[in-house]
């Protein structure tokens, strides 16, 4: 291999490059590992063995664990990891995550591998769900969001513990992030989510383009994640609850006007979101 470096003019030293690895687990989960070549942070380690395998393969030392919510496919591997590494476990104030050593709330920050992650509370899927946002400037070259099961590529999580209003308000927070934000969600649901999005907005040209692109990735055995927030804003019906086409689809779905009973707002965004989310539940 040709080496174009000039030994008489060496490149200036730089900080280690940070890397994010999506570790497949179960049927469709991604367990995220952030590392600097020596140290690593695990996000939502639902299964310990795939994480341990990746750490051992790359000679990495686990330094902390981040948790978004209490579901087993997100915390199930923590106990086994703690048998190998005595590290802090950071997450929401939820008694159903007994391994936590630090509970964080909306607006608080946590430093990982030299990067500052801001906590965003996003209830809806569960009552205590949080996301971690790493804004620029950072070592990744783009803003990052680790959002568990709140925002998916082309979709969102089911509303299990919270309300549809809580979920919509949580998604409203996330859609205000920079459009270049990379979305690291926890499941490879993208093709199924896009099929539903197409049922909602069959005339959306951006959606057709995204379907083609994602199908090519999956046919090649590549992940569809991370996605980019700009693409979500253009194609994800759960972020488009105030879009005319999505509103029209909800109205057709219920065969009612869905008025907001407010002269300044034609449609109730919470009702529109609830109609679309309930539709997806049985799609």
pTM of the predicted protein model:
0.91
| Residue 35 half-sphere exposure toward CB, CA atoms < 13 A | 20
Full set of structural domains in the chain with CATH:
19-281 (3.60.15.10)
Q: Is 71 a catalytic residue?
A: yes
Closest CA to 16 of 41, 39, 32: 39
Clarify whether 125 is annotated catalytic: yes
Asked if the bond preceding 17 is cis, omega within 30° of 0, the reply is no
Per the annotation, the verdict on 149 as an active-site residue is yes
**pLDDT at 266 (0 to 100):** 72
Given the residues 44, 70, 94, 125, select the one marked as catalytic: 125
The span from the CA of 201 to the CA of 198, in Å, is: 5
Is residue 226 reached through a cis peptide bond, with omega within 30 degrees of 0 on the bond before it? Answer: yes
Selecting among 35, 36, 47, 69, the annotated active-site residue is: 69
Annotated active-site residue 261? The verdict is no
Please give the Cα distance from 51 to 208 (Å, whole number).
35
pLDDT of residue 107: 97
Determine the distance from the C-alpha atom of residue 150 to the mean position of all C-alpha atoms in its chain, rounded to a whole number: 7
The active-site residue, picked from 35, 47, 73, 231, is 73
Q: Which of 36, 187, 231, 268 is catalytic?
A: 187
Is 129 one of the catalytic residues? no
Q: Render each residue's pLDDT in the chain as its tens digit; 283 residues.
A: 333 333 333 333 345 589 999 999 999 999 999 999 999 999 999 999 999 999 999 999 999 999 999 999 999 999 999 999 999 999 999 999 999 999 999 999 999 999 999 999 999 999 999 999 999 999 999 999 999 999 999 999 999 999 999 999 999 999 999 999 999 999 999 999 999 999 999 999 999 999 999 999 999 999 999 999 999 999 999 999 999 999 999 999 987 666 655 545 578 999 999 999 999 999 9
């Amino acid at each position: 291999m040709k080496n174009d470096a000039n030994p008489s003019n060496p490149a200036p030293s730089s900080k280690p490059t940070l890397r994010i690895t999506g570790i497949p687990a179960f049927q469709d989960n991604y367990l995220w590992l952030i590392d600097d070549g020596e140290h690593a942070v695990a996000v939502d380690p639902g299964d310990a063995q795939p994480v341990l395998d990746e750490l051992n393969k790359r000679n990495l030392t686990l330094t902390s664990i981040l948790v978004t919510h209490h579901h087993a496919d997100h915390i199930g591997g923590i106990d086994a990891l703690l048998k190998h590494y005595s590290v802090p476990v950071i997450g929401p104030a939820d008694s159903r995550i007994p391994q936590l050593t630090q509970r964080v709330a909306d607006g608080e920050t946590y430093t990982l591998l030299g990067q500052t992650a801001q906590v965003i509370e996003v209830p809806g899927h569960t009552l205590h769900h949080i996301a971690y946002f790493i804004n620029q400037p950072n070592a990744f070259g783009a803003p990052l969001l680790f959002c568990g099961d709140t925002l998916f590529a082309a979709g969102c999580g089911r509303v299990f513990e919270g309300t549809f209003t809580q979920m919509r308000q949580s998604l409203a927070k996330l859609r205000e992030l920079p459009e270049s934000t990379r979305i690291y969600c926890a499941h490879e649901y993208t093709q199924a989510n896009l099929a539903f999005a197409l049922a909602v907005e069959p005339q959306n040209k951006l959606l057709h383009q995204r379907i083609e692109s994602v199908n090519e990735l999956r046919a090649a055995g590549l992940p569809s994640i991370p996605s980019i927030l700009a693409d979500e804003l253009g194609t994800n019906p759960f972020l488009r609850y105030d879009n005319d086409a999505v509103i029209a689809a909800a109205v057709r779905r219920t065969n009612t006007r869905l008025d907001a009973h407010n002269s300044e707002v034609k449609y109730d965004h919470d009702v529109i979101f609830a109609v679309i989310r309930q539709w997806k539940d049985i799609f």
